[in-house]
Amino acid sequence: MINFMKQEGLFKYFKNDLVAGIIVFLIALPLCLGIALASGAPLFSGIVAGIVGGIVIGFLSGSQLSVVGPAAGLTAIVLSAIGELGAFDVFLCSVMVAGAVQFVLGILKAGTIANYFPSSVIEGMLAGIGLTIIIKQIPDAVGYTKQNHDSMVDAEDGFSMDIISDSLRHIEPGAAIIAILGILILILWQTKAFSKLKFLPSGLVVVITGVLLNGLYQMISGNLYLDNTHLVSLPVATDFNSFIGNFMMPDFTALSNPKVWQIGVVIAVVASIETLLCIEATDKLDPLKRYTPTNRELRAQGIGNMISGLIGGLPVTSVIVRSSANINAGARTKLSAIIHGTLLLVCVATIPTILNLIPKASLAAILIYTGYKLCKPSVFKHIWKEGGATQFIPFVATAIGVVSLDLLKGVGIGLVVAVFYTLRANMRIPYYFQRSSFSNGELVKLTLAQEVSFLNKASIKETLEKLPENTSIIVDASQTEYIDYDVLELIRDFHESKAPDRNIKLSLIGFKNTYKVPSAASEWDVVSELANGNEEPKRSAGTYKKLLKQLTGND
């Protein structure tokens, strides 16, 4: 049995981890509440997820610095799933299913699953999530409470402009002021002018400012004061037994519903991808340069989600915002994550009345700013600058799909577009050529690409058909890992019939023995036959498009 207390010296950096744990707790508290709010779930479920992510997964995880909790990236899925299943206790069964699937993925060593998703699609997914969060939080930011009963119920159909237009027609000035001030604080906290105050978590400052401002409203202006419908509403326990009663058990009879399993698998896949991406980013930020075993992480996340679902919590993932804050606060071991989870448990048990003074507009401000960081213009500029159209178009397609449809459909659209560009690139570069003109004839050398699929057949066939008579040609497969059967048949047929008919001397070099192509003269033999002594030929080189232009006289 693993001794977690000794592993990696859990108390070796106790002072550092204690300070970091407190700071991460202060950041996580409003985020846990805000994400539960955005997910259409009971606010207590966000706290439960934070507790499980900190304490349970904190002990089980192989990551020393990653912080686990409810994630903004799952809000769209959770919101639509609760609406589709009809009850939160039914949805908890899906959370448990997701945990079981993640645990099995860890057993099957599927920790590299994230490597199979193009970065452009992942970036697009995050940008789409950011836009969705911003749009869905506008009603709470302006104090429009009716949205809780209609416009935010179903995220499956994406967003409707009615969410924005209805909200703007029902603005509560007190809520709008709190939200705008909160966003300004979050922005100013990143500037040099406020650098000396950065030891205070900006999210906590936003929450405290909202509470104080609403108290001021009550004293000076009844019109601006926000009542309970605009405030956090955590259950207040009168004793230990009533506190335990706030935890919710799943409706296990719902396990017979196929939709529960379908949603569970969706959550498992998305949560696993987000976790693995966060783990990779966190490891890069780790000042001690430690490596997290990804399969162990999936197993830990699986156990955590099963427990979270069992006691009424949202699904959890590793989250980069809290993880990076943990590192910046000086954390050195997983103890900081455990401390943050412990503080969440203690505070929700002892001071829920204080937490219920928090305006929803303050949480909306934090989430809007979080969403903005996921989809800010610099992200779009970076994708365009670094990857060009082949990366930017799948990125934008994914983002638009996530916002207008839903997360899975958006990612699916992005994958299709990304695969299209991959196939297009594969078709465009079937080989590189070098053309040499000697006094005794001409030599064309085709160096095949690393992967030659059936998509390359047309361009290779066109090239061979355009070759002039009495030409020497070398097809070099020494750098090729795979050649499709159709392309091999084309080359064999050209070698056996078409080349001799046009007096073309074809040499096939570098082909694997399993391809069973005829043996031929080496490149040195071919050049020796064409060259006159140490003759330097006239050369040209490039991709197949350039060669075809030369062969057709268009160059």
Tokens linked to 163: 């969410």
Q: For the chain, list the domains and their CATH numbers.
A: 14-137+160-407 (no CATH), 429-551 (3.30.750.24)
CA 505 to chain centre: 52
- Phi and psi for 346 in degrees, rounded to 5? -65, -45
Distances (CA, A) of 244 to 22, 155, 305, 315: 24, 31, 19, 20
Paired with 248 in beta bridges are none
CA distance 215 to 359: 11
CA distance 457 to 439: 32
Give 554's DSSP letter: -
Dump pLDDT digits (tens) for 495-541.
888 888 888 888 888 888 888 787 777 778 888 888 777 778 888 88
What pLDDT is attached to residue 43? 85
Of 10, 345, 343, 30, the residue nearest 186 (C-alpha): 30
Average per-residue pLDDT for the chain? 84
Average pLDDT of 143-156?
A: 48
- Three-class SS state of 443: strand
CA distance 106 to 103: 5
Dump pLDDT digits (tens) for 265-322.
999 988 998 888 778 778 877 888 888 888 999 999 999 999 999 999 999 999 877 8
Paired with 438 in beta bridges are 441
- Three-class SS state of 172: coil
Reply yes or no on whether the pLDDT at 114 is more than 70: no
Q: Output 361 or 202, whichever has higher pLDDT.
A: 361
CA 102 to chain centre: 16
Distances (CA, A) of 184 to 28, 103, 299: 20, 42, 40
Dump pLDDT digits (tens) for 117-148.
777 887 887 788 788 878 878 888 888 876 44
Assign 157 a pLDDT band (cuts: 50, 70, 90): very low
Count, residues in the chain: 555
Assign 262 a pLDDT band (cuts: 50, 70, 90): very high
CA distance 300 to 546: 54
Q: Quick check: 457 and 486 in contact, CB under 8 A?
A: yes
What pLDDT is attached to residue 151? 35
Dump pLDDT digits (tens) for 405-418.
876 678 789 889 98
| End-to-end alpha carbon distance in the chain | 72
What pLDDT is attached to residue 483? 87
Assign 155 a pLDDT band (cuts: 50, 70, 90): very low
Give 398's DSSP letter: H
Tokens linked to 452: 């030659």
pTM comes to 0.67
